[in-house]
């Protein structure tokens, strides 16, 4: 029944009496005995009654929560089967619903209320991280790192942490569509089969497949299998967020695709040439871990020295001992000068005005640590920098100690129909070739597996235009285009078919990580929407493999096949079981290849293109949204970017001096013109940004027609329209025009500058100073003794704390890289709501844990400090005494507890908190309606309601779980047994939780370190969380902090 | 009441022998009889309602509706409709609370302390200021409740026996507030009502309207004016005055503890209790003058509220204003003397931070403007005096803004520094409470004797410009 028919009395009366399900007795009663005109009138009247609306809702399920139909609670219970999958039995194939009788036999290991953990892995931008996912009664709720995985080592990054929200995102695509209209998979298969069969005569030369970077061995195999039936088909890859320079650089240096990784644990001196290896880099989780292991000034640890030359202020630059801001276009010249000094033949050495003191110190440092140093080239630097870095690492004898090469972990398309010489090295060229073929009508079938090229393609490659284009007979140039993606996005709108994609937590797959180790992507839950398909399903359509009828089935067999082929000589079922348990396939890493840079490098280096003057524009993936794929993830949208603390927007990042020169200031809207293209965006002044450089972040300005995104639509500014295939990394000759408008930007921190006078809460020293006087950090403390209130007697048996636990935390500012993983981990663990840009602008963000960034010194190149801050659980907590209703109290284990149902919301506790870590529910912030979001929440943590205060609890639910376990075994909880969400997520090991009363615990050892201090100790709050001062390792030849102040660029 | 002519002048002031005094304006204009006093005061109630009154009430009722809307919306959505945030999680709500409580101070001071000190010039203004106190406390009392995140649980702040076995947390100044404000409200009401009883009887006897006679009769509690009544009455009134006196000091001291007990630079200060009490009296007298000056002109009550009253109140305002100025100075001195970085920073930020304008406007309103009151010419120039009192009213609001917002917005960690601005709903709630206050004031003036009739008659008696007949 359509809505138009509602006005016809006859039509309404019929279903109302005929169909019992749709009948509301009250409504029928009211309709009875009404005829003719009166009847007509009463319908009009009725049209707005509650009963009527209820009836309409019943008849039109689109208004009802669709989700309730597709996945009921019972089907979740069915998902307990996932634990059987662990034992090697397929748990994710669709089973007939009728036969399910939950819990007649309890699945192995399941105790209601106790979470289970399963290993899986997540792929993003060609990087893989191994994960353990916490599952409550069939619902994945929290992502943890997998300690067995070489990249994770138990830690995670922001994206993995936030991915669980994306799975439950109510805006995910849930139906198959053809030209926008709802269709079925059967119809799709019929059309697709028919069409590709028709392409076989030409060897499938009209068949094209476009994917993102592929690191799944199974997908790689499937892509190669296509050529068996379609030898002339072509496979293309495209990702907008970089990697091309490395591919090209490898080609220059080695003449072949290579995978390079670094072992930072072995590196004494690290030089990054514009690479943010501690934040946005693929596999940064492992790099943070390794880097941090050399930044703890403890006995037996020699601090590494980190030099960073960079074109935008990044987290890595913030952690550098010597950071030099430099325009992106000058960095290649710098690399050439440096390589020349190190003895690499680079041909002609360019002229570059550079701080000689810095360069000399760097050269002698690298030389002195030859074999124990590393040069990391920036993904957003030209290919020459990569080739030069390979050469420098070789000259410094680093290959084999800190630098390793293996065969490429990513799928390298080897289209047999194309001569090897014609195959493009870079993804951009690959995309350009594809688009050109589309324009010429050479493409009849285009399968786009994941990615969103319509949005992310460079502006001069008009992929979207030719995808949607028609010829003069009004036929589409690409008659059959298929887009598989999790959201119905810009590309889905233009493709003929849109197939919803499963989330990685819902489907089987596999993935290689940086050293080639294969992990199995294991589903945690049956797909929320039955229409979703995996990439493996779609590629199966090409091959002779069993057709992908149900989601997952085929993928499962394919992945098993891959694992079997990886280790042919071992017992497969045992291997499979082990691999599922540990999350990695043992012995699957790629062998190290002893590669040497081919001689004659100087001749192969592309000519150095120098300054074309004007303002420079640097394009970078966004620290939170990456290339835009996370645009609909509220947690990531609201995540403060590491240095600027900007949320919900991107902006034109300018150095304050440059902004001043251009006559613009923060929040001014400007028109930025580059190569004849222009965008309008607001300005943000970022200290430490090199002069004359504007950084733009990708991933914003998503604009899906119809506003299908509730979170990410029209947030920020799309910079892809400015970025061309020649300016993928940076472009010069840009200009800025002030429009006169202003635009509100929401940051979570508005003051970064600290002065020496008040730096008491951010303490730091050089390693020299610290070695000379180990008490240097403690000496700054104003020692305060005594309190009006009596001490808590935790050891007293009558106190109730039988085991005398004293929970505490240590936060190491030396190793914290501001990677934000803890922030999202805390948000996911503790059901912390997202508040939106406007509320962030009003300073009402809800993050229990924040990472403050502080600048000291010259704003052109400041020293930057990260200070994670959350409730420090004061022994003498100022919040406790002022609460009139005892809603925040000290518990017997010394935690500062919040009692939500006692809180009336006076907010006095927050006023009196010197650390400002308390968060208030100004409105009803938690979405209590959307069913998907209800499933996502951690059932162990209260979902807070309007009007109550909240804050970090030290993950009290985890403490309770550990305590209960220990009491059942009649033992004490181990000093290191409990990990809070932030502790578990931290790749640097900078956040350590534990029992201060256990002298063996890491946290008590850290509290006794000389660089441990209570923040704001002078007000005698006696915090349980102590911070460890930042110890830097500057080169005395440059000086501790004045390193590059005299040096000015541009 | 016995009159000792040798030690008091005609207007009730004690005169020391051998000292010369200037010609004082009397507290009651000469030529009044018992009847004329009664008629004049009751006429305000019994005469035809003036058009201006309707107009004024319409305006104040509109403002009251604004309050109802604002609070309704507040309860529907949450306190997020206001501008408060982290770090400034108290804003207009608590500023207004303290401001109203301060205004509510003059009433008790005038009624109780001046009564005990036999300051007879208080007579014709005490009723008005007591009413003002009550209404101001009513406005103030709203804020601690509506500013809660969950106002429906406000009763958690009261010590009542409950199955949870929980008491309020007696260490929290907010609990002290509950006691202080509710006690103050109760005693003020009792005091005001007790003072009204003989006048209500007069009203009962004077009215021609049966219905009104019944209402006033009920309210008069059977007052017949017998000597025994008078005796009991005087006892009760004195006792209540005695009870109220410590309250004048205690309420605002306790309110100041909300701040002084905390650890926030700019709040954590021992000068707060006396400085808050002085500020409250300062604000209270300013508000009495703000209302009395137009009122006496509108209802032609110049005979009762004479220039003596006006001048005396201006003098009290000046004196308390100086105490307040001393408070400001001492805060600056202590910050300097402490040698503590954060203490010094808060003063620097107060004076030259982003809210510098609030501080300097405060100095202008509360310190500089009242200095004009040294001059008798200014004290007797009503428009000018009214203007200065408006300055003080605004200045006292700004003082709380400076103390609350400016201290909170930049505390210890720079990362949490932020700005605060009231939203539409902040302003509408504030204006709304002014509407409530004025509405109650308008209704009070039209329904009850705004000046104590019997006490004014005592002045007639004291003047010995002699009686015709005792009123019924």
Q: Which residues pair with A498 in a beta bridge?
A: A177, A483
User: Residue A98: pLDDT band by 50, 70, 90 thresholds?
Assistant: very low
The Cα–Cα gap between A225 and A227 comes to 5
Q: Is A141 exposed, middle or buried (0-12, 13-18, 19+ CB in 10 A)?
A: buried
Question: Which residue spans within A443-538 are E strands per DSSP?
Answer: 445-449, 480-485, 497-500, 509-512, 518-521
The Cα–Cα gap between A364 and A322 comes to 14
Contact at 8 Å (CB) between A864 and A1015?
A: no
Closest CA to A162 of A991, A993, A984, A936: A936
Average pLDDT, chain B: 84
Element holding A747 (H helix, E strand):
strand A746-747
Contact at 8 Å (CB) between B174 and A908?
A: yes
**CB contact, 8 Å: A627 with chain B?**
no
Interface of B with A in 364-403 (CB under 8 A): none
* DSSP characters over A892-915: TTS-EEE-TTT-----HHHHT-TT
Average pLDDT over residues B269-286: 89
* Each residue's pLDDT tens digit, A109-164: 667 778 888 889 999 888 899 999 988 888 899 999 999 899 988 899 999 999 99
Contact at 8 Å (CB) between A377 and A273?
A: yes
Using CB atoms, which residue from B147, B150, B154 is nearest to A948?
Answer: B150
The Cα–Cα gap between A398 and A373 comes to 6
Q: Give me the pLDDT at residue A757, please.
A: 52
Residue A27 has pLDDT above 80, yes or no: no
Inter-chain residue contact A882 with B90, CB threshold 8 Å = no
Backbone angles phi, psi at A670, to 5 degrees: -125, 160
Backbone angles phi, psi at A19, to 5 degrees: -100, 110
Inter-chain residue contact B412 with A1016, CB threshold 8 Å = yes
Q: Give me the pLDDT at residue A107, please.
A: 60
Element holding A812 (H helix, E strand):
strand A807-812
Contact at 8 Å (CB) between A307 and A635?
A: no
Question: In chain A, what is the straight-line distance between the N-terminal and C-terminal CA atoms, in Å?
Answer: 68
Using CB atoms, which residue from B90, B174, B342 is nearest to A884?
Answer: B174
Q: Is A568 exposed, middle or buried (0-12, 13-18, 19+ CB in 10 A)?
A: exposed
Count of CB atoms within 10 A of residue A1's CB? 14
Q: Give me the pLDDT at residue B342, please.
A: 85
Q: Give me the pLDDT at residue A51, please.
A: 59
A596 or B113: whose pLDDT is higher?
A596
A796 or A383: whose pLDDT is higher?
A383
Residue partners of A719: CB distance under 8 A and separation at least 6:
A619, A650, A679, A681, A696, A697, A698, A700, A701
- Helix, strand or coil, per DSSP, at residue A652: strand
Inter-chain residue contact B416 with A761, CB threshold 8 Å = no
Interface test with B, best of A842, A889, A890 (most B CBs within 10 A): A842
Average pLDDT over residues A185-208: 84
The Cα–Cα gap between A33 and A785 comes to 86
Residue B1 has pLDDT above 70, yes or no: no
Contact at 8 Å (CB) between A738 and A663?
A: yes
**CB contact, 8 Å: A878 with chain B?**
yes
- Reading the block at residue B243, the tokens are 């009870």
Contact at 8 Å (CB) between A226 and A233?
A: yes
Inter-chain residue contact B412 with A946, CB threshold 8 Å = no
The Cα–Cα gap between A1020 and A785 comes to 7
Interface of A with B in 974-1013 (CB under 8 A): none
**CB contact, 8 Å: A1019 with chain B?**
yes
Nearest-Å Rg of the Cα atoms of chain A is 30
Q: Is the Cα torsion angle A722, A726, A728, A730 positive or negative in sign?
A: negative
The pTM of this model reads 0.85
A782 or A282: whose pLDDT is higher?
A282
**CB contact, 8 Å: B91 with chain A?**
no
Residue A771 has pLDDT above 60, yes or no: yes
Inter-chain residue contact B413 with A904, CB threshold 8 Å = no
**CB contact, 8 Å: A886 with chain B?**
yes
The Cα–Cα gap between A383 and A389 comes to 10
Average pLDDT over residues A657-674: 90
Cis check: omega of the bond before B64, within 30 degrees of 0: no
**CB contact, 8 Å: B261 with chain A?**
yes
Q: Give me the pLDDT at residue A1044, please.
A: 38
Q: What residues does each domain of chain B span?
A: 34-159+178-463
Average pLDDT over residues A939-964: 92
**CB contact, 8 Å: B413 with chain A?**
yes
Element holding A740 (H helix, E strand):
strand A730-742
Domains identified in chain A and CATH numbers: 3-64 (no CATH), 65-168+506-525+548-609 (3.30.200.210), 176-242+411-500 (3.40.50.740), 258-407 (3.40.228.10), 615-747 (2.40.40.20), 759-1032 (3.30.70.20)
The Cα–Cα gap between A696 and A631 comes to 16
Average pLDDT over residues A685-690: 90
β-strand A480-485 against A497-500: which pairing, if any?
Answer: parallel
Inter-chain residue contact A869 with B178, CB threshold 8 Å = no
Residue A308 has pLDDT above 90, yes or no: yes
Count of CB atoms within 10 A of residue A294's CB? 20
Q: Torsion-angle region of residue A65: left (phi > 0), alpha (psi -120 to 50) or beta?
A: beta
**CB contact, 8 Å: B150 with chain A?**
yes
Contact at 8 Å (CB) between A683 and A666?
A: yes
Residue A382 has pLDDT above 50, yes or no: yes
Orientation angle between helical segments B382-401 and B272-298, nearest 10 degrees:
150
Residue B147 has pLDDT above 70, yes or no: yes
- Helix, strand or coil, per DSSP, at residue B210: helix
Inter-chain residue contact B415 with A910, CB threshold 8 Å = no
Inter-chain residue contact A948 with B149, CB threshold 8 Å = yes
Q: Give me the pLDDT at residue B27, please.
A: 66
Nearest-Å Rg of the Cα atoms of chain B is 23
Q: Is the Cα torsion angle A12, A14, A20, A26 positive or negative in sign?
A: positive
A754 or A564: whose pLDDT is higher?
A564
Q: Which residues pair with A1027 in a beta bridge?
A: A811, A1013
Residue A965 has pLDDT above 70, yes or no: yes
* Each residue's pLDDT tens digit, A832-886: 999 988 899 899 999 999 999 988 888 888 889 999 999 999 988 999 999 999 9
Which residues of chain A neighbour B414 with C-beta distances below 8 Å?
Answer: 751-754, 758, 854
Average pLDDT over residues A630-639: 90
Inter-chain residue contact A761 with B173, CB threshold 8 Å = no
Inter-chain residue contact A916 with B147, CB threshold 8 Å = no
Interface test with B, best of A747, A755, A868, A905 (most B CBs within 10 A): A905
The Cα–Cα gap between B312 and B129 comes to 14
Q: Give me the pLDDT at residue B93, please.
A: 92
Inter-chain residue contact A905 with B261, CB threshold 8 Å = no
Q: How close does chain B come to A901, measured CA to CA in Å?
A: 10
Inter-chain residue contact A907 with B149, CB threshold 8 Å = yes
Residue A52 has pLDDT above 60, yes or no: no
User: Residue B143: pLDDT band by 50, 70, 90 thresholds?
Assistant: very high
Q: How close does chain B come to A785, measured CA to CA in Å?
A: 16
Q: Give me the pLDDT at residue A82, please.
A: 40
Residue A45 has pLDDT above 90, yes or no: no
Interface of A with B in 914-973 (CB under 8 A): 914-916, 918-924, 946-949
**CB contact, 8 Å: A40 with chain B?**
no
Inter-chain residue contact B415 with A906, CB threshold 8 Å = no
**CB contact, 8 Å: A839 with chain B?**
yes
Using CB atoms, which residue from A852, A884, A910 is nearest to B169?
Answer: A884
Average pLDDT over residues B369-396: 90
Residue A421 has pLDDT above 90, yes or no: no
The Cα–Cα gap between A484 and A451 comes to 8
- Helix, strand or coil, per DSSP, at residue B448: coil
Average pLDDT over residues A177-190: 88
Q: How close does chain A come to B466, measured CA to CA in Å?
A: 59
Interface of A with B in 493-522 (CB under 8 A): none
Residue partners of B377: CB distance under 8 A and separation at least 6:
none
**CB contact, 8 Å: A762 with chain B?**
no
Q: Torsion-angle region of residue A942: left (phi > 0), alpha (psi -120 to 50) or beta?
A: beta
**CB contact, 8 Å: B61 with chain A?**
no
Average pLDDT over residues A620-643: 90
The Cα–Cα gap between B150 and A901 comes to 10
- Reading the block at residue B115, the tokens are 């009564």
A395 or A552: whose pLDDT is higher?
A395
Report how far Cα A667 is from the mean position of its chain's Cα atoms: 26
Which residues of chain A neighbour B166 with C-beta distances below 8 Å?
Answer: 885-886, 902
Inter-chain residue contact A869 with B149, CB threshold 8 Å = no
- Helix, strand or coil, per DSSP, at residue A647: strand
Q: Give me the pLDDT at residue A1050, please.
A: 34
Interface test with A, best of B80, B151, B177 (most A CBs within 10 A): B80
Residue for token pair 């290689």? A512
Long-range contacts of B440-445 (CB under 8 A, 24+ apart): B440/B131, B440/B134, B440/B135, B440/B138, B441/B60, B441/B131, B441/B132, B441/B135, B441/B291, B442/B53, B442/B56, B442/B57, B442/B60, B443/B57, B444/B131, B444/B135, B445/B44, B445/B53, B445/B295, B445/B299
* Each residue's pLDDT tens digit, B159-202: 888 888 888 989 899 999 899 889 888 988 988 898 889 888 88
Inter-chain residue contact B89 with A907, CB threshold 8 Å = yes
Residue A344 has pLDDT above 90, yes or no: no
Name the residue in chain A with its Cα closest to that of B174: A884
CA–CA–CA angle B319, B320, B322 (5° rounding): 70
* Lowest mean pLDDT segment, chosen from A3-7, A437-441, A661-665: A3-7
Inter-chain residue contact B172 with A884, CB threshold 8 Å = yes
Interface test with B, best of A911, A919, A924 (most B CBs within 10 A): A911
Closest CA to B446 of B129, B56, B67: B56
Residue for token pair 């950071």? A323
């Amino acid at each position: 029944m359509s809505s138009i028919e509602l006005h016809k009395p006859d039509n309404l009366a019929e279903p109302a009496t005929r169909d019992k399900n749709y009948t509301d007795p009250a409504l029928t009663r009211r309709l009875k005995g009404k005829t003719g005109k009166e009847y007509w009138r009463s319908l009009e009247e009725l049209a707005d009654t509650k009963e009527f609306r209820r009836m309409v809702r019943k008849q039109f399920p689109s208004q009802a929560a669709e989700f309730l139909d597709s996945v009921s609670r019972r089907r979740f219970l069915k998902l307990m089967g996932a634990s059987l999958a662990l034992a090697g039995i397929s748990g994710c194939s669709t089973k007939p619903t009728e036969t399910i009788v939950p819990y007649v036999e309890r699945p192995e290991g399941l105790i209601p209320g106790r979470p289970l953990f399963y290993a899986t892995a997540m792929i993003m931008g060609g990087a893989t991280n191994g994960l353990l996912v916490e599952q409550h009664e069939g619902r994945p709720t929290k992502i943890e790192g997998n300690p067995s995985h070489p990249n994770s080592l138990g830690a995670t990054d922001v994206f993995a942490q936030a991915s669980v929200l994306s799975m439950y995102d109510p805006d995910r695509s849930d139906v198959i569509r053809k030209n926008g209209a709802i269709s079925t998979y059967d119809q799709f298969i019929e059309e697709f089969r028919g069409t590709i069969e028709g392409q076989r005569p030409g060897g499938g030369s009209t068949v094209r497949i476009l994917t993102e970077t592929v690191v799944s061995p199974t997908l790689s195999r499937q892509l190669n299998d296509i050529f068996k039936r379609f030898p002339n088909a072509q496979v293309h890859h495209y990702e907008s967020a970089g990697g091309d320079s490395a591919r090209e650089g490898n080609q220059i240096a080695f003449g072949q695709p290579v995978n390079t990784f670094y072992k930072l644990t072995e590196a004494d001196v690290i030089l990054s040439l514009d690479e943010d290896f501690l934040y946005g880099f693929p596999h940064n989780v492992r790099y943070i871990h390794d880097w941090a292991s050399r930044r703890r000034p403890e006995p037996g640890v020699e601090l590494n020295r980190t030099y960073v030359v960079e074109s935008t202020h990044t987290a890595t630059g913030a952690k550098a001992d010597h950071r030099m801001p430099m325009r992106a276009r000058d960095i290649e010249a710098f690399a050439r000068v440096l390589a020349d000094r190190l003895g690499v033949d680079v041909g002609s050495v360019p002229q570059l005005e550079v701080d000689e003191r810095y360069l000399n110190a760097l050269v002698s440092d690298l030389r002195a640590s030859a074999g124990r140093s590393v040069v990391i080239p920036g993904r957003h630097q030209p290919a020459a920098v990569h080739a030069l870095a390979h050469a420098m690492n070789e000259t410094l004898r680093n290959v084999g100690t800190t630098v390793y090469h293996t065969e490429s972990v990513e799928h390298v398309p080897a289209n047999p129909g194309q001569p090897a010489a014609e195959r493009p090295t870079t993804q951009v060229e690959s995309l350009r070739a594809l688009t050109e073929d589309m324009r010429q009508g050479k493409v009849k079938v285009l399968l786009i597996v994941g990615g969103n090229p319509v949005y992310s393609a460079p502006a001069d490659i008009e992929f979207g235009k030719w995808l949607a284009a028609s010829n003069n007979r009004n036929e589409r140039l690409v008659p059959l285009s298929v887009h598989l993606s999790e959201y119905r996005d810009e590309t889905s709108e233009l493709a003929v078919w849109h197939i919803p994609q499963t989330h990685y937590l819902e489907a089987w797959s596999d993935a290689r990580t940086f050293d080639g180790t294969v992990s199995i992507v294991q589903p945690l839950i049956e797909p929320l929407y039955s229409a979703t398909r995996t990439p493996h399903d779609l590629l199966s359509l090409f091959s002779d493999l069993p057709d992908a009828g149900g989601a997952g089935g085929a993928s499962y067999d394919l992945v098993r096949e891959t694992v079997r082929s990886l280790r042919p000589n071992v017992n497969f079922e045992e291997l499979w079981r082990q691999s599922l348990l540990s999350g990695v396939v043992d012995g699957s890493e790629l062998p190290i290849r002893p590669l040497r840079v081919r001689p004659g490098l100087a001749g192969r280096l592309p000519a150095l293109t120098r300054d074309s003057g004007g303002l420079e524009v640097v394009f970078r993936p966004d620290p939170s949204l990456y290339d835009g794929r996370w645009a609909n993830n509220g947690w990531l949208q609201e995540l403060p970017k590491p240095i600027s603390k900007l949320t919900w927007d991107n902006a034109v990042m300018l150095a304050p001096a440059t902004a001043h020169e251009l006559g613009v200031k923060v929040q001014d809207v400007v028109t930025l013109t580059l190569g004849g293209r222009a965008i309008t965006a607001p300005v943000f002044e970022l200290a430490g940004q090199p002069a004359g450089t504007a950084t733009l972040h990708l991933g914003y300005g998503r604009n899906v027609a119809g506003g299908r995104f509730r979170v990410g639509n029209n947030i920020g500014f799309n910079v892809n329209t400015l970025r061309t295939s020649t300016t993928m990394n940076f472009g010069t000759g840009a200009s800025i025009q002030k429009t006169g408008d202003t635009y509100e930007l929401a940051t979570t921190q508005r003051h970064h500058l600290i002065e020496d006078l008040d730096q008491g809460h951010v303490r730091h020293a050089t390693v020299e100073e610290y070695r000379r006087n180990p008490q240097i950090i403690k000496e700054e403390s104003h020692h305060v003794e005594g309190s009006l209130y009596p001490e808590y007697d935790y050891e007293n048996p009558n106190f109730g704390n039988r085991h005398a636990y004293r929970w505490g935390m240590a936060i190491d500012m030396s190793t914290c890289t501001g990677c934000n993983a803890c922030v999202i981990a805390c948000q996911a663990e503790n059901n912390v709501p997202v508040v939106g840009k406007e509320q962030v602008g009003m300073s009402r963000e809800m993050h229990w844990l924040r990472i403050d960034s502080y600048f000291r010194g010259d704003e052109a190149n400041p020293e930057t400090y990260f200070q994670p801050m959350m409730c420090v659980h004061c022994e003498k907590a100022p919040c406790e005494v002022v609460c009139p209703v005892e809603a925040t109290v000290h518990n017997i284990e010394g935690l500062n507890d919040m009692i939500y149902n006692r809180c009336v919301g006076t907010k006095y506790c927050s006023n009196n908190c010197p650390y400002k870590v308390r968060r208030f529910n100004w409105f009803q912030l938690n979405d209590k309606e959307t069913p998907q979001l209800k499933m996502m929440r951690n059932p162990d943590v209260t979902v807070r309601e309007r009007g109550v205060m909240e804050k970090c609890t030290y993950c009290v639910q985890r403490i309770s779980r550990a305590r209960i376990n220990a009491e059942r075994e009649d033992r004490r909880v181990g000093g290191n047994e409990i990990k809070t969400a932030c502790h578990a997520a931290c790749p640097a090991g900078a956040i350590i939780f534990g029992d201060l009363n256990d002298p063996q615990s890491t946290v008590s050892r850290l509290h006794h370190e000389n660089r441990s201090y209570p923040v704001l100790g002078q007000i005698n709050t006696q915090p349980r969380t102590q911070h460890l001062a930042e110890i830097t390792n500057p080169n005395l030849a440059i000086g501790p902090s004045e390193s590059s102040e005299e040096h000015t660029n541009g | 009441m016995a009159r000792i002519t040798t030690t008091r002048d005609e207007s009730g002031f004690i005169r020391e022998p051998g000292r010369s005094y200037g010609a004082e304006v009397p507290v009651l204009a000469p030529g009044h009889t018992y009847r004329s006093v009664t008629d004049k005061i009751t006429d305000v109630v019994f005469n035809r309602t003036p058009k201006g009154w309707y107009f004024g009430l319409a305006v104040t009722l509109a403002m009251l509706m604004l309050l109802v809307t604002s609070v309704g919306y507040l309860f529907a959505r949450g306190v997020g409709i206001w501008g408060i945030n982290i770090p400034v999680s108290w804003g207009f709500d608590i500023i207004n609370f303290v401001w109203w409580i301060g205004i509510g101070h003059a009433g008790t001071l005038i009624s109780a302390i001046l009564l005990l000190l036999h300051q007879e010039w208080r007579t014709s203004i005490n009723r008005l200021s007591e009413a003002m106190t009550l209404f101001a406390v009513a406005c103030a009392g709203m804020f601690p409740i509506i500013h809660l995140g969950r106002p429906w649980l406000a009763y958690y702040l009261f010590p009542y026996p409950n199955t949870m076995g929980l008491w309020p947390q007696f260490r929290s100044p907010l609990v002290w507030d509950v006691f202080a404000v509710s006690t103050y409200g109760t005693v003020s009401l009792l005091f005001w009502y007790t003072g009204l009883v003989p006048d209500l009887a007069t009203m009962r006897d004077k009215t021609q309207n049966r219905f009104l006679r019944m209402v006033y009769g009920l309210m008069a509690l059977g007052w017949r004016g017998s000597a025994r009544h008078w005796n009991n009455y005087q006892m009760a009134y004195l006792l209540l005055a005695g009870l109220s006196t410590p309250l004048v000091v205690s309420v605002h001291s306790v309110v100041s503890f909300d701040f002084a007990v905390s650890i926030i630079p700019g709040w954590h200060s021992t000068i707060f209790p006396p400085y808050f009490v002085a500020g409250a009296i300062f604000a209270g007298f300013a508000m009495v003058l703000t209302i009395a000056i137009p009122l006496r002109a509108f209802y032609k009550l110049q005979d009762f509220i004479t220039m003596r009253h006006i001048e005396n109140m201006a003098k009290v305002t000046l004196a308390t204003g100086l105490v307040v100025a001393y408070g400001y100075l001492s805060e600056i001195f202590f910050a300097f003397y402490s040698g503590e970085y954060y203490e010094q920073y808060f003063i620097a930020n107060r004076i030259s931070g982003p809210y510098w304008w609030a501080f300097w406007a405060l100095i202008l309103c509360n310190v500089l403007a009242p200095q004009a009151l040294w001059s008798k010419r200014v004290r007797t120039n009503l428009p000018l005096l009214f203007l200065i009192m408006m300055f003080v009213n605004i200045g006292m609001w700004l003082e709380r803004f400076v103390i609350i917002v400016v201290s909170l917005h930049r505390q210890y960690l720079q990362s949490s520094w932020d700005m605060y601005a009231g939203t539409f709903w902040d302003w509408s709630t504030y204006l709304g409470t002014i509407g409530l206050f004025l509405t109650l004031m308008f209704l009070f003036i039209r329904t009850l004797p705004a000046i104590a009739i019997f006490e004014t008659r005592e002045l007639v008696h004291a003047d010995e410009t002699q009686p015709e007949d005792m009123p019924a």
